[in-house]
Chains A and B, each alone.
Chain A
Amino acid sequence: MPIDIPKDKWPGSIKKITLGATAAEGGTRAKSITLGGQTTLPYLHFEAPTPNSPAIAIEIKSRKPEDWSPLLAEVWGEAMNDPAKWAKKAEEAGADLIVLALMLADSPDDAVKAVKSVLSASGLPLIVWGPGQAEKDNELLVPVAEAAKGEKLVLGICEDKNYRTIVATAMANGHLIEARTPMDVNLAKQLNILITDMGLPADRILMDPTTGALGYGIEYGYSVMERLRLAALQGDSMTQLPMIVTPGFEAWKAKESKVGEGVPESWGDWKARAVHWETLTAVALVESGADVIVLRHPESVKRVKSAIEELVMA
């Protein structure tokens, strides 16, 4: 018997945003990446195709991080000492873009140098994170934004207590920003409103809803993202932004990934588990609507990439 499949027709859609600028667009990137544009819930091709595939970013740091899992140190090896080399390796590992996380020890000059070296080593679009302390973030990101004017970087991370400086410099230098809120639909919307109130167009914001990792609150992140996406499709303009998620950071913080000793036997093989942890966290977030997925381990990159391909394929 013929079946009448219920299809959703949504009044809203996700804004299209472009990261990175090629020479023609006023930057130096080999290519730029366009995200968003969805008019349905993720990958429901019987309603509409997925206009832009989600992108995978690999997170690198301006200096070798001391607190990363030995498993990560093992795969990235020497490259961790040099952001330019690291970026190149990340590109080889299949990244669509690079996240460069600046560190507390960086001076503004260090930061600018690191960003420039990554920009020249790799042609991928770049996201730059401050070290995560309001004052320091402002101190480092402003010179970085100025030095990379026109590259359409994504500057992060804006939070509700500290958004003015970063937004202002992004506006002045033609960059985008990453707006992070702690796992709450309303807070995510509110920050977007505050930022657009300053005059930054909404299509220069990536929202980062904070997700938690598998076993560590991913269900909240998952539902917050589903709700944000539903709200966006229902026409709420302040949620119609592509979402960036950081399963790499989240999963590698978890004991399951981070350590191999002193854990229950039932947890199984460390390395395989660590990759599962990052991959499953990432895939769950892809299913709930993530547009940029920031990962750390090359094996996870491979698996998540293949999952995305299967989902995007009509």
Chain B
Amino acid sequence: MALSGIQIYKMLPQTNCKECGFPTCLAFAMKLAAKQVELSACPYVTEESKKQLAESAAPPVRLITLKAGTEVKAGNEVVMFRHEKTFYNKPGLFLRLKASDADLAKKAAAADAYKVNYVGMDFTLDGFAIEADGDLSAAVKTVRGVSKRPLILISNDPAALDKALSQLAGETALIYAADPSKYETLADTAAKHKAVLTVRGDSLEALADLTPKIQAKGVEDMVLDLGGKTLGEWLTLSTQARRLALKSNFKPLGYPVIFFAGQNGPEKEPVYAAQAISKYAGFVVLDTFTPELAYALLVLRENIYTDPQKPIQVQPGIYEINAPKPESPVLVTTNFSITYFSVANEVEGSGLPAWLVVTDAEGMSVLTAWAAGKFDAERIAKAVKEFNLAEKVSKKRIVLPGHVAVLSGELEEELSGWEIRVGPREAVDLPAFMKQALN
């Protein structure tokens, strides 16, 4: 259980000596509760308190890292719902390839090279799952020839795995999968190569029986395949596993889970993958690679895993309301979503056409952003230039929110040739203002 600031404070010396770098013990305790500092920063914590605090801090879902030329992390999650804190480690997206596939190299190369840009970030797939329906080592070699991304090896033949893994020295690969009938040799192989081992079972009970046994064989890093044949089944299983780990602190199921999205055919694959991304998968394996699907899934993953504590933002840019014409008025506001919505809704509702310039104010409202220096003449001018507003409008006139009337002088200087008008303070008054003052 996570402790509150006050609970932690009670375990600290309460001397406000400042050595930890915070003005008071309570301030330090609060940072500790938010997991933003290490306990070791306070030199005066008693052993007893240290023990208690360490227990409350251990991650309920084990962190698993697959390594090759790049890295994929899964686990370390602490909440059931993203709004409670955040989801931390984005599930790795892997493409399943067959060892027997004559086009293996080509397919791997194409998927490896795939890169797509979303709001300034480049996304790629995370790795490959190679199915040993042919010579696994040869296939690994082929894939390694075109990609440096982490691998999942789908085989339960210890000898083949041993051979394949020997080629992957220095990497951490994932073996798929040990099941109750055959886990000992696979565990040995995993231990030998420091690979992560997937554990598969018919039920959560079976899985929970198996993981301690594998752990006893020296394999600490595991991934679970929960089974599940339909969306409904999988949702149930993955919710139960996550709850057991988080709420019951049930260690045998405290591992990330893997999900095969293509199991019921390509028609269903996009939806299966989407559910896995939002409902707790650590690794998602796809059977199909198309740019359009990869893009959609990568964006979904990014969305679900953004930090919800950040203010809600809309994308900066020029928004067209009610099909504006070149002579329509230009309004400016910030990219805080509620601010944007209230302005956009008022104008939209009035039926009056307008261009709405939304500046990057780091998701703050007009007043807050202005207070913090994130909505000033310079930034507005920058947005106007960056979005090429001058090319869209014929009437070079900008309406500032009334709350930042003070900026009008500076903005005039920054944007020579533009007329700066001060609009109303509240969005409700915009339509009237546009009707009366802007004609």
Contacts and interface: CB of A to CB of B under 8 A. Distances in A.
A217 interface: yes
B414 interface: no
B271 to A, nearest CB: 5
A311 B304 CA distance: 20
Contact of A219 (B239, B292, B303, B349): B303
How many of chain A's residues touch chain B, expressed as a range? 35 or more
B275 A223 contact: no
B243 A5 contact: yes
Contacts of B351: 104, 133, 136
Contacts of A216: 314-315
Contacts of A51: none
Contact of A215 (B230, B239, B250, B303): B303
A262 interface: no
B387 interface: no
Given A227-B83, A269-B292, A311-B235, A215 B299 contact: yes
A311 B198 CA distance: 26
A268 interface: yes
Nearest to B273: A280
A54 to B, nearest CB: 13
A227 B79 CA distance: 13
Contact of B308 (A219, A270, A287, A304): A219
A314 B232 CA distance: 7
B270 interface: yes
A261 interface: no
A21 B292 CA distance: 42
Interface stretch (A41-49, A119-127, A201-209): A41-49
A132 B349 contact: yes
Contacts of A273: 292, 295-296
B349 A134 contact: yes
A143 interface: no
Given A266-B295, A268-B292, A310-B230, A223 B308 contact: yes
A242 to B, nearest CB: 20
Contacts of B115: 266
A25 to B, nearest CB: 31
Contact of A264 (B117, B296, B350): B117
A294 B323 CA distance: 24
Contact of B205 (A3, A104, A162, A311): A3
B345 interface: yes
A128 to B, nearest CB: 18
A279 B243 contact: no
A103 B312 CA distance: 31
A226 B87 CA distance: 14
A283 B274 contact: yes
A159 interface: yes
B57 interface: no
Given A4-B248, A267-B295, A279 B338 contact: no
B348 A133 contact: yes
A131 to B, nearest CB: 9
B118 interface: yes
Contact of A182 (B231, B239, B303, B341): B341
A280 B232 contact: no
Contacts of A312: 232
A284 interface: yes
Contact of A313 (B232, B294, B299): B232
B368 interface: no
Given A6-B243, A44-B235, A184-B338, 20 more contacts: A1-B209, A3-B253, A4-B248, A5-B243, A182-B342, A183-B337, A214-B303, A218-B300, A220-B312, A264-B116, A265-B291, A266-B115, A268-B291, A268-B293, A269-B290, A276-B292, A280-B270, A284-B274, A287-B279, A311-B231
Interface of B: 81-83, 114-118, 204-205, 208-209, 230-232, 235-236, 239-240, 243-244, 247-248, 250, 253, 267-268, 270-271, 274-275, 278-279, 290-297, 299-300, 303-304, 306, 308, 312, 314-315, 323, 337-338, 341-342, 345, 348-351, 428
Interface of A: 1-6, 43-46, 67, 104, 132-134, 136, 159, 161-162, 182-184, 210, 214-220, 222-223, 226-227, 230, 256, 264-270, 272-273, 276-277, 279-280, 283-284, 287-288, 303-304, 306-307, 310-314
10 contacts: A1-B205, A134-B349, A182-B337, A214-B303, A222-B303, A264-B116, A272-B293, A280-B274, A306-B271, A307-B271
